[in-house]
């Protein structure tokens, strides 16, 4: 890529092949096209360059919808696809298309028989991913493709996660459209491709227009340096495929072995006795009674995500795990851990060690025991509770009063996010010395401003107020009964 950017290969427009610089760029691109096509068993002429798998998915789904809309308006996909597939399907649904959303089985696999039952005379396309980006579960694409051929329906496969990691031959599998992305195989970001079979080509319409590049399917000047980088990554992946897979599988085994004795751990990938049904380096692991956002914040030493990497900032439980029937409280407490070419056995052990430490610390914050400060001599205490694991926030407020009726201690146990922990720690100091009945709490909306808590977490702050009021009422009830016992 550096040589291309700094040398003659990056100067010319590959579409202007009448001069030396343009011809050199065009030659580099066509050689790259051949190298990338070889990785998936395709003819180079069947490969269209895009900006990545997201664009490829959109081109495949919306392009076929445009080209086949007059023949029928039914499309089949699954609930566990990447957002780059789900969102174009939802777009079509708003415009009159009927979408069948296949549900995965508990093991994450799509049942081919469910697909067979969903196929209709007006079905134009089936879109099922090869390997899931959150769980690593690998679908039986060969069986799905056979059903599509029998029904005369086109098949699109999002293979961004699997190309370069698992053997894949588009002709042997009889796939019509296949999306891939360079950065998923250690190539540069911002470049990908769409494989288009001869069967699908007449029906695929472009999404944008202007210049007729890439056989009229994707206009715009091609980025020679990105494409050559993509090809270099594809060549390396082809040469290292089995070696990389064995290394990644070994690292996953070591990681899981070091977490095996930790209670309340659930691995969401397919059974290890079926290695052909899972990506070798991806682990989806759930920790019961641990809030996911707090867990991520407690792991600065390692790079992991909660759910899909491009979706982990939302704070919402994984829709993939929810579709598999994983309870919402577990889905909120799930990490996506990926091991690759640059990782070592020592790093796999380190990942397990720091995750174990963080899990135990967070569970201790939510322990059933009473905080030590509340158990001081000569105090009366009570507890109030609000929220639940299912709603992503459970808090218990412990209030202790001395003989003069003043608050002697405030303690919290909670399953919650880091933003709320800052609030709880401040509150443990703020109310000391007050009488419970006159303690000025303010309002949750004021707390959000004071502690810079995102307003979408206001509901969690209200739960803190609920727990405080429940504890205060329990304490007042004790006093009214003359109950001075702890």
- Nearest residue to 396 (alpha-carbon basis) of 415, 417, 376, 414: 414
Could you tell me if 159 and 167 are in contact, meaning their C-beta atoms sit under 8 angstroms apart? no
Q: How many Cα atoms within 13 Å fall on the side-chain side of residue 302?
A: 26
Annotated active-site residue 401? The verdict is no
Q: What is the token pair recorded at 426?
A: 């401040």
Q: Are 361 and 466 in contact (CB under 8 A)?
A: no
Q: Mind giving me the DSSP string for 366-407?
A: T-SSPPGGGG-TT-EEEEEEEEETTTTEEEEEEEEE-TTS-E
Answer whether 276's CB lies under 8 Å from 140's CB: no
Separation of alpha carbons 126 and 85, rounded Å:
11
Return d(Cα 182, Cα 131) in angstroms, integer. Answer: 16
* Three-point CA angle 55, 129, 149, nearest 5°: 105
User: What φ, ψ does residue 226 adopt, rounded to 5°?
Assistant: -70, -40
The tokens describing 481, both together, are 């009964």
Q: Which of 14, 29, 88 is nearest to 54 (CA)?
A: 88
- Whether the CB-CB separation of 230 and 189 falls below 8 Å is answered with no
Residue 151 structure tokens = 């029904």
Q: Which position among 310, 397, 401, 417 bears the catalytic label?
A: 310
Residues annotated as part of the active site: 310
């Amino acid at each position: 890529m550096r040589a291309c950017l700094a040398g003659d290969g990056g100067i010319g427009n590959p579409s202007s092949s009448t001069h030396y610089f343009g011809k050199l760029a065009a030659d580099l691109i066509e050689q790259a096209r051949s190298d990338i096509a070889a990785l998936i068993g395709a003819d180079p002429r069947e490969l269209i360059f895009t900006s990545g798998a997201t664009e490829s998915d959109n081109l495949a789904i919306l392009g076929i919808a445009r080209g086949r809309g007059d023949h029928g308006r039914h499309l089949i996909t699954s609930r566990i696809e990447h957002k780059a597939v789900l969102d174009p399907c939802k777009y079509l649904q708003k415009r009159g298309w009927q979408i069948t959303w296949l549900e995965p089985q508990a093991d994450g696999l799509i049942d081919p028989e469910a697909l067979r039952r969903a196929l209709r005379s007006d079905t134009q396309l089936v879109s099922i991913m090869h390997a899931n980006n959150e769980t690593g579960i690998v679908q039986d694409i060969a069986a799905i493709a056979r059903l599509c051929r029998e029904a005369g329906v086109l098949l699109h496969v999002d293979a961004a996660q699997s190309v370069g990691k698992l053997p894949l031959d588009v002709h042997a599998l009889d796939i019509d459209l296949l999306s891939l992305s360079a950065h998923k195989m250690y190539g540069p970001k911002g470049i990908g491709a769409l494989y288009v079979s001869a069967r699908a080509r007449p029906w695929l319409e472009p999404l944008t227009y202007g210049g007729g590049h890439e056989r009229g399917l994707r206009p715009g000047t091609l980025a020679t340096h990105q494409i050559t980088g993509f090809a270099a990554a594809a060549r390396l992946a082809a040469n290292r495929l089995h070696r990389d897979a064995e290394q990644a599988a070994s690292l996953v085994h070591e990681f899981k072995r070091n977490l095996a004795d930790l209670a309340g751990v659930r691995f969401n990938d397919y059974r290890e006795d079926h290695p052909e049904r899972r990506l070798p380096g991806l682990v989806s692991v759930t920790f019961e009674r641990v809030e996911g956002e707090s867990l991520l914040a407690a792991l600065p030493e390692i790079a992991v995500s909660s759910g899909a990497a491009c979706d982990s900032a939302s704070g919402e439980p994984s829709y993939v795990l929810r579709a598999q029937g994983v309870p919402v409280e577990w889905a909120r407490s799930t990490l996506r851990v990926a091991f690759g070419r640059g990782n070592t056995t020592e790093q796999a052990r380190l990942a397990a060690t720091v995750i174990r430490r963080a899990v135990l610390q967070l569970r201790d914050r939510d322990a059933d025991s009473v905080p030590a400060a509340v158990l001081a001599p000569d105090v009366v205490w009570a507890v109030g509770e609000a929220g639940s694991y299912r709603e992503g926030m459970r808090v218990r407020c412990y209030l202790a009063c001395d003989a003069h009726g003043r608050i002697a201690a405030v303690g919290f146990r909670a399953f919650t996010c880091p933003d709320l922990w800052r609030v709880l720690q401040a509150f443990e100091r703020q109310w000391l010395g007050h009488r419970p009945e006159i303690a000025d709490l303010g309002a949750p909306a004021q707390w959000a401003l004071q502690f810079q808590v995102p307003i979408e977490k206001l509901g969690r702050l209200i739960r803190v107020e609920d727990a405080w009021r429940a504890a205060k009422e329990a304490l007042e009830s004790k006093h009214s009964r003359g109950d001075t016992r702890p």
